[in-house]
Amino acid sequence: MSYIGERIDFYMGRIKSGRVQEMWRQTKWIYSYAKKYWIAMIFYTVLGLSGTVVALLSSLVSKDLVDIITGHQAGELAKTFAIMIGIAVFSIVISQFTSYASSWISLKVNNEIRSHIFEKILITDWESLTNYHTGDLLTRWSSDASAISDGVLSYIPNLIINLFRFFSAFAMVIYYDATFAIFALLGIPFSLLMSKTLLTRMQNNNQKSAAMSAKMSGFNQETFSNIQTIKAFDLVRLYTERLKQLQSDYLNMRMEFSRMSIWTSIILGMVGLLVSYSSYGWGIYRVWSGVISYGTMTMFLSLSGTLTGAVNSLSSMIPSAISLTTSAGRLMDIIEMPQEDYSRLDEAKHFLEMHRDSGVSLTIDSLDYSYQSGTEVFHGASFEGHPHEIIGLVGPSGEGKTTMLRLLLSLLPAHAGDAKISAADGSTLPLSPSTRQFFSYVPQGNTMLSGTIAENMRNVKPDATDEEIIEALKLACAYDFVSKLKDGINSEIKERGGGFSEGQAQRLSIARALLRKSPILLLDEASSALDITTERKVLKNIMADTYPRLCIVTTHRPTVLTLCNRVYAIRDKACDILSEDEIEHLIKDF
């Protein structure tokens, strides 16, 4: 009674801790995917059941064949042997067909689920998403999403198939000799006991393994992205040792679980041997007693293995369920974060088409924003910009220039105030993720992607002609070096803009933004790698362009401020417009 009381207390504790409710919530989330693929699941189940039926028929034919041989029934031998060969051939064919069909379904479902989760991650609130390391996101998207797709397809079908294997085999044992059922079921209590022991450790191991995989993925991603810095600081040995330490920690964790699994497998194997040899002994006794035939004993031994295998498979589904819900929980952490609102996408598209030729204005009025940490960045910030204007944003590093551009792009949500796009006819549209189509953005650093120059350009305008690309390159003062390349605009760009200087990569980024012909161009220190002469020339080209574009520039170089129609200083959490004297003072102090 004390043991039962302890187990009740244990499970009540699990329920009170919320783990059972959490697993149930994760299971319902997995079901939301599973119900979409019920046809594939039925097909998968039918294939599995077909294999089980073939195996049972093979056991029956083997029984008859042994009985025919021992009974010297030569007349039936050829026919039974032919049936046995036919079943074997059919088994091979259906096995290969099942393998092919299962692979096709699994890959299809895996691709669809990963594609859906990929899209969900991309539209997740940007600020919330930055709390996760890129390596962690990659691990969740790849490993955890694959685990979900495999589980969605196979878990319920395998449960049905293994239950069918167990009860059909058990029914055959009962039909031919009920006493064999005792020996066939000997291993079940041990299998259940082992699965219960594995349950908690499996759950902990899955969580640790996922966290360690994410940590290693993040380390590798950061290392390969910063090879130049690692080499420059002579950190090769340090990073190699860090990798070895991570590998050692991962190895120790995995081997600890493997040792437990080995002992569990040994115990289950010994129990299996005990069941098998007990069945052998009882079968021999029943044959000698004349109760059953040699063929029946052969069939019982085969069915005994089937029963034990089915029980072991059913038992292993418990830790599999733990693994599945763990992966579901890790994905739910991401996709249940706030999602960006694109509900006004069509309205924004129509507004843009209506006013593309005349341009739009941008108004920020009394805007408030604080980081998730609680640090206030803006309080009552206001500024405005209109077509054919260059607006400058200046201020010390860390005061909020880049944050302001992210607010304009609705990557960050303003907590108060009014932020809107307006047209000459007085119509307005509030800023939201739907209004990003009004913007072209050139952030700090190298943002070129691997591929050709033309492919990078057409990422923002797929139907751009070569002439349009060349015109944009000229506006950005980039065509002077692109035209000298052997393949011109079809020249290859390596990862992270490799093969080009920082200044060249920045000009290519500006050209890409100009090609899009968005009404509002955001340049976030986008010309920091250019010399002053080239920087001023690029801005002059932008202003000389007939397209009604509003350009907003953040810069540490006050020398370009003389080109701006207005300059706002970000200070004291607000945007203060600078007078000409203040601008001149900034230029002199530079």
Q: Who's near 54: CB < 8 A, 6+ residues apart?
A: 87, 90, 91, 94
Read off the pLDDT band of 296 (50, 70, 90).
confident
Read off the pLDDT band of 568 (50, 70, 90).
very high
Rounded-to-integer distance, Cα 459 and Cα 569, Å: 34
Helix (H, G, I), strand (E, B) or coil at 441: strand
Which residues of the chain form CATH 3.40.50.300?
A: 345-589
Residue with tokens 């007939």: 546
Q: Which residues pair with 451 in a beta bridge?
A: 493
Across all residues in the chain, what is the average pLDDT? 80
Q: Which fold has domain 35-335?
A: ABC transporter transmembrane region fold (1.20.1560)
432 with 341: CB under 8 angstroms? yes
The predicted pLDDT at position 317 comes to 73
Which residues of the chain form CATH 1.20.1560.10?
A: 35-335
Give the model confidence (pLDDT) of 17-65 as tens digits: 456 677 788 888 888 777 777 787 788 788 788 878 887 787 777 777 7
Residue with tokens 């004993």: 297
Give the model confidence (pLDDT) of 483-522 as tens digits: 998 889 998 888 776 778 888 888 898 899 889 888 999 9
pTM: 0.70
Read off the pLDDT band of 12 (50, 70, 90).
very low
Give the model confidence (pLDDT) of 327-366 as tens digits: 888 888 888 888 888 889 999 999 999 998 889 999 999 9
537-546 CB contacts, 8 Å cutoff, 24+ apart:
537/477, 538/475, 538/476, 538/477, 538/507, 538/510, 539/390, 539/563, 541/474, 541/475, 541/476, 541/477, 542/390, 542/475, 542/514, 543/388, 543/390, 545/475, 545/514
155 with 321: CB under 8 angstroms? yes
Structure tokens at 553: 């520039």
Rounded-to-integer distance, Cα 329 and Cα 334, Å: 9
Read off the pLDDT band of 324 (50, 70, 90).
confident
Output phi, psi for 189, to 5 deg.
Answer: -60, -40
Residue with tokens 């000409």: 580
What is residue 218's DSSP assignment?
H
Rounded-to-integer distance, Cα 128 and Cα 249, Å: 29
The predicted pLDDT at position 14 comes to 45
Superfamily of domain 345-589: P-loop containing nucleotide triphosphate hydrolases (3.40.50.300)
Q: What is the 3-state secondary structure (H, E, C) of 38-72?
A: HHHHHHHHHHHHHHHHHHHHHHHHHHHHHHHHHCC
Read off the pLDDT band of 269 (50, 70, 90).
low
Q: Where are the beta strands (DSSP E) in 312-430?
A: 361-370, 376-385, 390-394, 416-422, 428-430
**Comparison of pLDDT for 349 and 326, the residue scoring more:** 349
- Count Cα neighbours of 496 within 13 Å in the Cβ-side half-sphere: 7
